[in-house]
Amino acid sequence: MSRLRRQKQPNSSDAAVINSNDSPRLSGSRWFSILRLGMLGFVAFASAYAVTSKNPTRVAVPASARPGMVWVPDGEYVMGTAGSAGLKNEQPAHSVKLDGFWIDASEVTNAQFREFVDATGYVTTAEKKPEWEELKKSVPPGTPKPPDDVLVPGSLVFVSPPGPVPTDDVSRWWVWTPGACWKHPEGPDSSISDRDDHPVVQVSWEDAMAYAKWAGKRLPTEAEWEYASRGQLVGKRFTWGDNPPTDDSQLANIWQGGFPNQNDKRDGWERTSPVKTYPPNGYGLYDMSGNVWEWCSDWYRADAYAQRSGQEKVVNPVGPRESWDPNEPNAQKRVTRGGSFLCHITYCESYRTAARRGTTPDTGMSHLGFRCVVSGTKSP
């Protein structure tokens, strides 16, 4: 088996239908997504949790961190969605107070990630062979060992189906692709040779964390990410205001046409676009809406905001201590934000400022990247 279709799993795709509840149930017997997106994520849990537990939220600002970064001043904002205009996992809306921080003006690019790999020899998750002895510790007893030709380096690639398909089954367009990695985002025959200024994709949360550490930065908390995304606008649905994008909009790199089989590319791009192609938000940040999803440092809990209710003040939150997604209770997930080039209003509106999702930290996908932040003060 050289290619595997991915099991229906809305959390790790652009399949969070805005009108659905936050708890779509898995269906089908295909176990691969559990293997790749659930079990591997659980394996990563212990080490990742250790990182989070020890990771101070505030670190010194290295002077070298500031080129390409934007200062977001300290402040207070309403995080999440009030009322019925969002998903359950975005509620209740609540006030959050943050210290100021620096944030990358754009998603980390292929050129930047290459510099990291060249300097360190780092090997990404997608380039490593999954180990069954580790995987089976986190799967239900009796789960059969997958075929050897499945346990090979690879990642998940969006492949547009030839015609309309039911949009309740993401396995119709997510394909496990051996050989897919950041250097070959759509598989072994693809290349990033002309994509230096595109966001790096096919990077796991662990990969993003490694890059951030090397760069003297860190991943943003979910609260920081949303605050920065709002760009000084108050209570707006999108980074640019309340008006939804249309198929003729040039506001962000999203999907235009009929998802998932017909991409009209009226914004100019079928997949990733060069960073800074579209207008920045009020902080001067690019692609906070669309292009690629972005990893945050927090564990993902569907009820994270509900857990904060009753707190008088939520100051510099770093997220819950563990993950919980009722759709996949065994999968430990990190927060991803901002939507991607696969989001369309008829299917997924995750380019909204409040939209949130969890993804297992070992997962690389062709629409998932990251940007970094640095704590400190505006002036040295």
Residues contributing to the site for Ca ion (CB under 5 A): 253, 267, 269, 287, 291, 338, 341
Contact 208, 336 (CB under 8 A): no
Contact 302, 23 (CB under 8 A): yes
User: CB of 266: closest distance to Ca ion in angstroms?
Assistant: 8
**Closest CB to Ca ion among residues 245, 338:** 338
**Closest CB to Ca ion among residues 147, 279:** 279
User: CB of 288: closest distance to Ca ion in angstroms?
Assistant: 6
- Dihedral of CA atoms 226, 232, 234, 238 in degrees, nearest 10, equals -60
**Closest CB to Ca ion among residues 62, 280:** 280
User: CB of 201: closest distance to Ca ion in angstroms?
Assistant: 11
Tokens coding 353: 């400022």
User: Over 86-146, what HEC string results?
Assistant: CCHHHCCCEEEEECCEEEECCCCEHHHHHHHHHHHCCCCHHHCCCCHHHHHHHCCCCCCCC
**Closest CB to Ca ion among residues 107, 127:** 107
User: CB of 254: closest distance to Ca ion in angstroms?
Assistant: 6
User: Over 58-76, what HEC string results?
Assistant: CCCCCHHHCCCEEEECCEE
**Closest CB to Ca ion among residues 124, 291:** 291
**Closest CB to Ca ion among residues 127, 298:** 298
User: CB of 204: closest distance to Ca ion in angstroms?
Assistant: 17
- Residue 235 falls in which region: left (phi positive, over 0), alpha (psi -120 to 50) or beta: left
What is the rounded CA–CA span in Å between residue 327 and residue 342?
22
User: CB of 98: closest distance to Ca ion in angstroms?
Assistant: 20
Contact 176, 4 (CB under 8 A): yes
User: CB of 58: closest distance to Ca ion in angstroms?
Assistant: 24
**Closest CB to Ca ion among residues 259, 341:** 341
**Closest CB to Ca ion among residues 293, 305:** 293
H or E element in which residue 229 lies: helix 222-230
What is the rounded CA–CA span in Å between residue 13 and residue 171?
10
User: CB of 287: closest distance to Ca ion in angstroms?
Assistant: 4
260 upstream amide cis, omega within 30 of 0 = yes
Beta bridge partners of 359: 334
